[in-house]
Chains A and B, each alone.
Chain A
């Protein structure tokens, strides 16, 4: 049991101690909304505490309260926050300012908005130093800034000192933010989704820098994230939050090997794995409750596989209690969780006698050959730069199959989607849809044919017109085609698991996952053959993501749909795809059957990507595998192999000759590398 009253003396190595913290917001009707309830945890010296939870769990709010940065309308109603022996909740504003940035500092998610675009990088870091050291001379401050810049691994710190944020890449910007946060060597660093806005290879670099600077100063860290893999790899202890409270607390390895709360177990079971394929994902039903309409008893019980129908769970809210000296869990029936998780693993595993996937027996519905896209950038015609966004993309996609397209931002995967959909014109190459040329079509013929190729986009918020009723949203394609039927709308809603009444409401009333279901229903309205899914599950929380993936796979089976699945998330791609294409700077660098590419990647970039993904259980082995540096400027790509500037195995030959995309002893599995491993 966590002590209710603060003990007389905190252990000397406690950096932060939060006890019974509750935060309320004032609702529109004047009634308080309990956003964070009775949260208690400690952070000890040198340790990384990971706080995981889906959106709306209260994880960021809790840490903002520690910094005294709660927005207007939010209030700490009870509890204490003690940082190095100082009580923060009752501290005067002026004193709090002395603590912020000195004893505790924060790294936010988006380095683009954290840095002021009109101030030079050096000045921004200097500001952080000067605030707490007003007596330092200008030269001293500058020397310290340059020291900090080199500490976070920014090359040429003297030159970078006087540059503006727009001259830095995303990963470099986040390094600058880390330098600012470390400027006064705080005891506690709060990192709120520090790498969520970054690509996976850059994420690995930034996490490494964080670990290095922490090792030097001995700062403790709270790592807030939705990414279970990331905390598994970088956190010593974990707290899982759900609907405003901590439901489980444990050392990282124990939590993942032996989850006790059904919510934690559900999250683990709903995550696709990078190292093996499962037949189906578990998905936690329902969604995170609105804090105004929290269920009675345990807030998780309506979604819980173990407690759903048990009277205790709907009657009493289980307190967070200690089950071993290092573990706490808030569940009446936590003993049953490991058995349930084991059972789920068996259900989702691919049976050993499963028939080999039938190959190449269906016809090609989408044939892409030598697709090119060049953008002219810059105003005046005689000074315009060419950006080769797509180079020589070819593939055949057979009916009922899924092609996964992976790559980091800027690799051209979304441009490919737009060109295929004819939302942008290709600069060369051909596309055949059901055997007929698609790119030559114009006017009415195009409007007819493009209905066979539909799309679901990433952002569930901008993909639905906020002023339309859901019924009209789904009916729109039929109205355009002149084949409207109200029954069909109801039928489509049922296909994606929504009740018919949903049609009468507008999109702002729906959550992200539901909106994505609506977008899927709309894309299916005209019975397309091919669906392009452009990061269609990337914006969703883990439990919701599993629901939508399962829905997509079910629909594919039932309707014989063919998918082009574009994603930066390799685990999801592995789970859903039959074939995979890896893109880098507009070019396909590896292509083949999913198992071949993931189990024996032959291009160094694919291997770097796979190695950079944080894995649940066990630290991933990134030694020597991390892709160095940043993506080169696509307007001025490197000569020869475009990956050579970041490649751990580059040779002089790579700068001279561009490697062709060919198979290396294994037909159907091609890679564009001079030194590809078969």
Chain B
């Protein structure tokens, strides 16, 4: 639907545009290498210059690394983990949810039991235990975070399937000899997927925050690779001296998560309208 843009649409677009500039455009600019240290110019405030005359827009960290380019790189890492995890959880959750809702019976009992089991274990503890065993890396983090958050998708997908499977277009396809795979692929998936993307846009923010907490605990991304959570954790030791070290990545996190919250709100509204029409 083109036409007037609502407030929440505008806010979502604005916030996500800021993140996109930070994560996509800034790394393309000829800036400082995010890894190269300049011990002569450590803990510079935003807009400060080092003794050798280098100018830093957002200042430097404890090792004299450029905050702007590190923030951009960390954003890429965080976003990558977020997207990866959302993809993994969406695929797993939708598959299990559709199977449980369509076939019912013991299969459903098993899958939903699995979901309850998963929910009953505190997620952060589980993540700490698993990362401690298999070791942290970007891929591992995405997979682990994804596998531990499929339940939201599974529940919603199953709920929708339960009502859709009694809808007459599915009954009618069954009388025409459609197999379960046909119904799931042709009817259930296309009808469930938009709702799943809404869940995904909401979960994306949660995953980013979760990754930040893990990184904060030292179980996330390993240095020298930065992530926003890790930058917050590194910066907290210098809160009095150089508060921007913790504040800048926090603001970036906030913008990203808020952007996705507004996006999910907008998607919900549009999807509702479509259902009504």
Q: Which residues of A come within 8 Å of B, CB atoms?
A: 28, 421-423, 446-448, 450-451, 453-455, 457-459, 462-467, 473, 476-477, 480-481, 508, 519, 522-523, 525-526
Contacts and interface: CB of A to CB of B under 8 A. Distances in A.
Given A463-B169, A465-B190, 17 more contacts: A421-B175, A448-B177, A450-B176, A451-B176, A454-B175, A457-B168, A463-B167, A463-B168, A463-B172, A466-B191, A466-B274, A466-B275, A476-B186, A480-B173, A480-B177, A480-B182, A526-B176
B273 to A, nearest CB: 11
B169 A465 contact: yes
B178 interface: yes
6 contacts: A462-B169, A465-B190, A467-B191, A477-B177, A480-B182, A481-B176
B172 A447 contact: no
Nearest to A420: B175
A525 to B, nearest CB: 8
Residue of B171, B175, B177, B275 with most partner-chain A CB within 10 A: B175
B237 interface: no
Contact of B177 (A423, A447, A519): A447
Contacts of A467: 190-191
Contacts of A466: 191, 274-275
Contacts of B191: 465-467
Nearest to A457: B168
Given A480-B182, A508-B277, A423 B176 contact: no
Contacts of B123: none
Contact of A451 (B169, B177, B179, B182): B177
A455 B175 contact: yes
A522 B182 CA distance: 17
B174 A423 contact: yes
Interface in B155-184: 167-169, 171-179, 182
Interface string B80-94: 000000000000000
Contacts of B167: 462-463
A423 B175 contact: yes
Q: Which 9 A-B residue pairings sit nearest by Cβ, starting from the closest?
A: A447-B177, A463-B168, A457-B168, A477-B176, A465-B169, A462-B167, A480-B178, A508-B277, A462-B168
B3 to A, nearest CB: 8
Interface in B170-214: 171-179, 182, 186-187, 190-191
B172 A480 contact: no
Contact of B175 (A450, A465, A473): A450
Contacts of A464: 169
Contacts of B168: 457-459, 462-463
A525 B190 CA distance: 23
A462 B178 CA distance: 18
B49 to A, nearest CB: 55
Contacts of A508: 277
Contacts of A481: 176-177
A131 B104 CA distance: 49
Contact of B172 (A422, A458, A522): A522
Contacts of A423: 171, 174-175
Contacts of B178: 476, 480
Contacts of A519: 172
A277 B190 CA distance: 46
A307 to B, nearest CB: 33
Nearest to B3: A28
B190 A447 contact: no
A464 B169 CA distance: 5
Given A462-B169, A465-B169, A508-B277, A476 B176 contact: yes
Nearest to A464: B169
Nearest to A458: B168
Contacts of A454: 172, 175-176
B111 to A, nearest CB: 20
Interface string B263-276: 00000000000110
Contact of A447 (B3, B171, B179, B274): B179
Contacts of A477: 173, 176-177
A523 B177 CA distance: 12
B171 A457 contact: yes
A403 B198 CA distance: 47
B170 to A, nearest CB: 8
Nearest to A509: B277
A448 B176 CA distance: 8
A459 B191 CA distance: 18
Given A455-B171, A462-B168, A465-B169, A480 B190 contact: no
Nearest to B171: A423
Interface string B93-127: 00000000000000000000000000000000000
A204 B173 CA distance: 39
Contacts of A463: 167-169, 172
Contacts of B174: 423
B164 to A, nearest CB: 9
Residue of B168, B173, B176 with most partner-chain A CB within 10 A: B176
Contacts of B169: 462-465, 473
Residue of A457, A465, A480 with most partner-chain B CB within 10 A: A465
Given A467-B190, A467-B191, A508-B277, A480 B176 contact: yes
Contacts of B3: 28
A117 B262 CA distance: 35
A192 B64 CA distance: 76
Contacts of B277: 508
Nearest to B277: A508
A457 B168 CA distance: 7
A39 to B, nearest CB: 27
Given A459-B168, A480-B182, A508-B277, A465 B187 contact: yes
Nearest to B1: A28
A508 B191 CA distance: 14
A314 to B, nearest CB: 31
Contacts of A451: 176-177
Nearest to A477: B176
Nearest to A423: B171
A508 B182 CA distance: 23
Contacts of A450: 175-177
